[in-house]
Amino acid sequence: MPGPFLKWWALSRYFSLVFVSGLILFPACENKEAKLPFAGIPSPGNNPITEEGVAFGRALFQSPLLSADGKSSCFTCHRPDSGFSGSVTHLNPHSKLKREIQGLFNLAWSPSFFWDAREETLESLILKPIQSPDEMNLALPVLLKKVNQNAELTQLCLAAFQTDSIGTVHVARALAQFVRTLVRQPELPDSEGKTLFQEHCSKCHSGKTTSDFQIRKSVLAPSGIDSGYFRITHLPKDVYLFRTPGLAAVSKTAPYTHDGRVPDLDSLVRMYAKRLPAKELEVPARRKELVKFLHLL
């Protein structure tokens, strides 16, 4: 009876194909899940990191459309070859900005931002430099007009947020996603310098981010000009308190401290050695080992 036979044969072929397809596709799904590119990087529930969001954020970060003069981008101040930091005095000796430009590595783990910790999220931070008269000096309505006239950016926004009409929320979220992916957490071999760092520096510069990102008074003498966290709280106890920076790529982020008064790592370690209860750091050879370790971060 050819009818039932053909029916049985067709069904068997169908289930065989389903079984084989399952063997092929199921591992592929598992591998895709296991190799998510941003696994382990924290992000808020209303702005999870996606490949499309990061691509849009990267394009915005390098776009001169975010500045009033159409010549500057976020990369102008946060240079990749300088640990995504920069020097105010190097950019413009006459700048009204008085604080050095911090690096952007490992900010996904930070509970606050800016030297005085005045912002609590990257999304709230991200539009401030764009609008600042002393930085990119671009009003948000003008920003939106410029980016919405750019076909590449509108297509990237569509892929990331399912709309090709770019709003400030899309700019803030995309830039925040990109910045969160700037991670530098090297595994470093044991050394004399590492031991010295753990003994004398890791109370504040702890963990893989090399900072607890807390607000504290540095052991270095205050400059007397910038009152730090006091500007936000106006509480006397907060005078000269600043957010502890991470040390990722620290060898590339000179000058140091919030006001840029320390020119190089040798000087920085020497200054700390004078104020820390660490007699061994008064020995030049020991300081040299610590500096050597800092260059690996």
User: What are the pLDDT digits (tens) for 230-260?
Assistant: 888 999 998 889 999 999 999 999 999 888 8
Q: What residue type is assigned to position 68 of the chain? A: A
- Assign 133 to helix, strand or coil: coil
CA distance 88 to 86: 7
Where in the chain are the domains?
51-180, 192-294
Domain 51-180 has CATH 3.30.750.24: no
Neighbours of 92 (CB within 10 A): 11
Nearest to 272 by CA among 203, 184, 226: 203
Q: Residue with structure tokens 């509480």?
A: 235
Residue 16: predicted pLDDT: 39
- Please answer whether residues 272 and 219 qualify as being in contact, where contact means their C-beta atoms are separated by less than 8 angstroms: yes
Nearest to 116 by CA among 259, 4, 247: 259
Nearest to 43 by CA among 160, 122, 126, 125: 122
Q: What's the angle, vertex CA 117, arms to CA 267 and CA 89, rounded to 5?
A: 45
CA distance 102 to 123: 17
Tens digit of each residue's pLDDT, the chain (297 residues): 444 433 444 444 433 333 333 322 222 222 223 236 888 999 999 999 999 999 999 999 999 999 999 999 999 999 998 889 877 655 555 556 678 888 999 999 999 999 999 999 999 999 999 999 989 999 999 999 999 999 999 999 999 999 999 999 999 999 999 999 999 999 999 999 999 999 999 999 999 999 999 999 877 766 667 888 888 899 999 888 999 999 999 999 999 988 888 999 999 999 888 888 778 888 999 999 999 999 999
Same CATH topology for 51-180 and 192-294: the answer is: yes
Bond into 222 cis (ω within 30) = no
Residue 97: predicted pLDDT: 64
Can you say whether the dihedral through the CA atoms of 206, 212, 216, 218 is positive or negative? positive
CATH code for the structural domain at 192-294: 1.10.760.10
CA distance 119 to 4: 73
Residue 89: predicted pLDDT: 54
CA distance 275 to 194: 20
How many CA atoms lie within 13 Å of 193's alpha carbon, on the beta-carbon side?
Answer: 16
Residue 134: predicted pLDDT: 85
- Assign 167 to helix, strand or coil: coil
